[in-house]
Amino acid sequence: MILSFISLLAIALILGTLIVAYVRKVMMTYALLIANLLVFALSLLFQDLLISELGFRPAYLSVQYIPQLLYTLFTSMFVHSGLLHILGNMLVLFFMGIAFEQRIGRKKFILIYLLTGVIATLTFSFVHLGSDILLVGASGAIFGILGAFAYSYPRDEIVMPIPVFILMMVRIKVIIGVLIFAAMESLFVLVGTEDGTAHIAHIGGLVAGVLLAAYFVGKQGDRLKKNEGLAQYDTKIPTTDTINFSSLKPLAQTTDLQKMLQRIEHENVRQVRDVWLEHFLEKVTCPVCSKPLNHFRRTVWCDQEHFRTTY
């Protein structure tokens, strides 16, 4: 199958957005949001074409469709069937993705996102082997992030959109929110709901997220408690306005980072300061091995255990 110019352009937009974000150390959640929205904007003019060429079909799980299998497992995660479809997915991704990525770092986040998206698609396909049903949307990967988040940080509280009669924004423990989603999806599957939604794919993504988090992340809350020697581990974000800038100075290894840290230190508006601080922490690297650092609850650390500080 030869792809049209429009489909090739969509793939270029997806890859370009993700690569630029990764190289420039921008949060991958932002990159995923932008990539999905760019493809959706393109689909406003060429929706049928993009869905047909970039969507996944269970029938592709055969030798004769290997070329389509290889790229549609990836591209189908960035194509949506309508405005409500993409808005619902992007809303959950925004609130859950940013919070989870801040805790585990960009590399692990994008790896879990893409792998769970693929596994969710394959789960649906194995249940509907040989079918020509088109599967599109980011929900399988998003459910993967939900599962991974619930496994690694079950006690954390975040703002989460919960569809109870209407879409409500609720501050809730991650594990409770995910259990609500899991129960709803399981009920849909058990009663055989036919609403055009791949509920079995959502369950596949959710389970895959839990398993991948167990392998790549672990239960970080317990790990931080153990490593920091805290008698009681508080899952709430610190509310103090005081920042120990001296602990961050070793991370300002370039002139640009030094200027950025000075700007943060002299910023009087807390909200503005916090935005710049987040930007600073996304750009810094380990002073020892030069690899990207993780940051969460005023702790900055290297995965290789070369560096750790609190501010």
Whole-number average pLDDT of the chain: 86
Domain membership flag for residue 231: no
Least confident of 107-111, 141-145, 163-167: 163-167
Q: CA-to-CA distance for 94 and 108, rounded, in angstroms?
A: 17
CATH number of domain containing 209: 1.20.1540.10
Domain membership flag for residue 55: yes
The parent domain of residue 299 ranges over 237-310
Residues 47 and 190 in one domain: yes
Residues 15 and 111 in one domain: yes
Domain membership flag for residue 39: yes
Q: Which residues of 123-152 are buried (b: 16+ CB within 10 A; e: fewer)?
A: bbbeebeeeeebbbbbbbbbbbbbbbbbbb
Domain membership flag for residue 117: yes
pLDDT digit string, tens, across residues 18-57: 999 999 888 899 999 999 999 999 999 998 999 999 999 9
Share of the chain above pLDDT 90, in %: 44
Residues 248 and 127 in one domain: no
Q: CA-to-CA distance for 26 and 12, rounded, in angstroms?
A: 18
Q: CA-to-CA distance for 31 and 107, rounded, in angstroms?
A: 13
> How many domains does the chain fold into?
2
pLDDT digit string, tens, across residues 210-238: 999 999 887 655 544 444 443 333 434 34
Q: Is the dihedral of CA 173, 178, 179, 183 positive or negative?
A: positive
Q: CA-to-CA distance for 60 and 74, rounded, in angstroms?
A: 13
Residues 162 and 192 in one domain: yes
Domain membership flag for residue 227: no
Domain membership flag for residue 226: no
